[in-house]
Amino acid sequence: MMKLDGIAAFVTTVDEGSISAASRRLGLAKSVVSERLAELERILGVTLLQRSTRRLALTGAGRGFLERARRILREIEEAAAELDASSGKLAGPLRISAPVGFGVLHLGPAIARFLQENPGIEMSLELDDSFVDAATSGFDAVLRHGAVGDGRLIARRLATSRRLLVASPEYLATHGAPNSLADLERHRGVLYANRTGDWRFAVGSGWSVVRPRAVLRVNNGLVMRDAALAGLGLALLPSFFVNEDVHKGHLEEVDIGWPAEGAELFLTYPRDHGAAAKIRALGESLRRSFGDPPYWEKF
């Protein structure tokens, strides 16, 4: 008979990339994880993972079994979470990914409040500015700033955010302030590397695209903000990065007559995820912490 601990060992090994890493995540000896994998393969009568001294690789049978294994674990987690929720408590592990800049500036107090409200939850929060696929990454949920557009996922809106075109007073004194879309293209831009190099502005009923000359491309909003503060160029940044600096006069908002494309914060997770009850509770707690409108829009 197939055992759940073998399925958990298999999925965790795939997610972590090695038996050693899986053993650390599961809190088990490496030999125990290896034994559970071997037992699962014996029961199924197939090889799921090709092992070598350097790497693990899924076999064809392993790829076919992986999604079913994930679904089995999620359904069990969901059943346990529903029982916990019906008894008025939420408990167990919850693994979350979020962007670095937003996490540093805004997630600490919000996560602390959630964990104080739910002391039975054991959260793991990883900050990462690369694209994290909530459907396949092994995280229970991923906080994303921007459009989701993925039918595999449920996306719960947490907050709205404007994007502001900003520059330092020194930059504007030296280079002048752009006052039109055409003028903006002649300026230096600090650009986000994980998006296209375009800036989008709502013009009438459509969108107009501007392609500034990049003085810096970087995949972190805090570094972009610092570059704008240093006078390197204009930056188009979410309000949660720059509203305080604009309020204090360290940065100036540049008005070219059209608003920049806004964005929203979402908490995303797979449709059949087993920890849905915990994720919904997290989303509700984060919305309360951020406010509506969010506190970073109230300067």
What is the Cα gyration radius of the chain? 23
Please tell me the predicted confidence (pLDDT) of residue 164.
94
Q: Please give the CATH number for the structural domain made up of 90-161+264-297.
A: 3.40.190.10
Do 163-261 and 90-161+264-297 fall under one CATH topology?
yes
> ω into residue 293 within 30 of 0, thus cis?
yes
pLDDT digit string (tens) for the chain, length 299 residues: 778 888 899 999 998 888 888 899 888 899 999 999 999 999 999 999 988 767 788 999 988 888 888 888 877 776 766 666 556 678 888 889 999 999 999 999 999 999 999 998 989 999 988 877 776 777 889 998 876 666 677 888 999 889 999 999 999 999 999 988 989 989 999 999 876 667 989 988 888 988 888 999 998 999 999 999 999 999 999 999 999 999 999 999 999 999 998 888 999 888 766 567 888 899 999 999 999 999 998 76
- Distance CA(253)–CA(236), nearest Å, equals 10
By CB atoms closer than 10 A (0-12, 13-18, 19+), residue 38 is middle
- Homologous superfamily (CATH) for 163-261: Periplasmic binding protein-like II (3.40.190.10)
Please tell me the predicted confidence (pLDDT) of residue 223.
96
The H or E element containing residue 150 is: none
Strand order in the sheet with 141-145: 121-127, 92-98, 141-145, 263-270, 153-161
Cα 139 to the chain's mean position, in Å?
A: 10
Q: What are the residue ranges spanned by the domains of the chain?
A: 4-83, 90-161+264-297, 163-261
Please tell me the predicted confidence (pLDDT) of residue 247.
93
The CATH number of 4-83, from 1.10.10.10, 3.50.50.60, 1.10.1520.10, 1.10.3720.10, is: 1.10.10.10
Can you give the pTM of this predicted structure? Answer: 0.70
Please tell me the predicted confidence (pLDDT) of residue 270.
81
